[in-house]
């Protein structure tokens, strides 16, 4: 028994599970404003949280897969989903633009 008491008194101390928390750095009001205005990019298109609108970079190309069997409202829904636009597809229309500069509205079903 005496040996067990000596062994237990010589046990190594272990660190507790409690960790040290770093105190958060206080940001200046201008830094806080910049963080609130921060826009993130998806596929090179900037998304504005307040307006829920994507702003593509000028001259950028975006692809959407459609086929000849899709109706105009279906194509509009695909486009609106691609750009995360929350408006109704009824607010939009597709136009066919000719090389001569003329436009014609695509038939809405």
For residues 56 and 76, which has the higher predicted lDDT (pLDDT)?
76
71 in the same domain as 58: no
Write down the pLDDT at residue 16. Answer: 59
Mean pLDDT computed over every residue of the chain: 72
The pLDDT tens digits for 77-106 are 998 888 777 778 888 888 888 888 888 888
39 domain residue, yes or no: yes
Does residue 24 fall inside a structural domain? no
Domain count, the chain: 2
Task: Report residue 43 as tokens.
Answer: 């596929």
Q: Where are the beta strands (DSSP E) in 1-109?
A: 40-42, 45-48, 53-56, 95-97, 103-105
Would the pLDDT of 14 be above 70?
no
87 and 71 within one domain: yes
Same domain, 108 and 78: yes
Q: Is residue 8 part of a domain?
A: no
Q: Once rounded to an integer, what is the mean pLDDT over residues 47-58?
A: 61
Kindly state whether residue 56 falls inside one of the protein's structural domains: yes
For residue 46, give its domain range. 30-62
């Amino acid at each position: 028994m005496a040996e067990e008491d000596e062994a237990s008194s010589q046990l190594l101390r272990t660190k507790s599970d409690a960790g040290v928390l770093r105190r958060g750095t206080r940001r200046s009001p201008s830094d806080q404003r910049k963080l609130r205005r921060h826009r993130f990019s998806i596929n090179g298109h900037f998304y504005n949280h307040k307006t829920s609108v994507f702003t593509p970079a000028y001259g950028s190309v975006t692809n959407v897969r459609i086929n000849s069997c899709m109706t105009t409202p279906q194509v509009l829904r695909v486009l609106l989903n691609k750009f995360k636009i929350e408006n109704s597809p009824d607010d939009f229309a597709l136009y066919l633009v000719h090389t001569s500069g003329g436009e014609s509205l695509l038939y809405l079903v």
